[in-house]
Structure 1
Amino acid sequence: MLNVDVHERIAREFEQAFAQDGFDRAEDRSSLLEAFLRHEDHVSAEELTEELVAGGGSVDLPFVAQTLEQFVHYGL
């Protein structure tokens, strides 16, 4: 339960930061963040892209890689 609460808090904080900084595709970024947080171990941009596309997402590798870099910039 704690991880779920922490993940929800992190997701809200990132959504707010992205909105404040004017990033588009908020839904895609939120989906990526949720997918990233579900993984306990290292996950690659390629793996996340495949996972999101398989789930019906409309993301590509450059978008995922750029967004992961933004996560690092924001301290995730």
Structure 2
Amino acid sequence: MQLMRAIVFIEGGAVQEVMSDEGMEILIVDRDTEGVDLSELRKIAGDDAYVYSTRGSSVNKEKIKEIYKELEEQESSLQEENE
């Protein structure tokens, strides 16, 4: 059974994009709350956290497949070099 795949793109410490191979709702929780205004903190699983938002992912099956393939090729190459 193939699991659904999602990729979260982060730049400058902030989530820029969420992409998946199937539509899904994503909740992004950041437990690094230093400097966050107290009014923006929420309790998630008992801890203070900043919740970016609940957002839907953009669906792009081909791009997800391409990125995972690229990563797998790099991982395989690194393993071969380390043997």
Length-normalised TM-score, structure 1 = 0.27
- Considering fraction of residues, name the structure with more strand: 2
Length-normalised TM-score, structure 2 = 0.26
- Higher RCO, 1 or 2 (CA under 8 Å, sep at least 6)? 2
- Considering fraction of residues, name the structure with more helix: 1
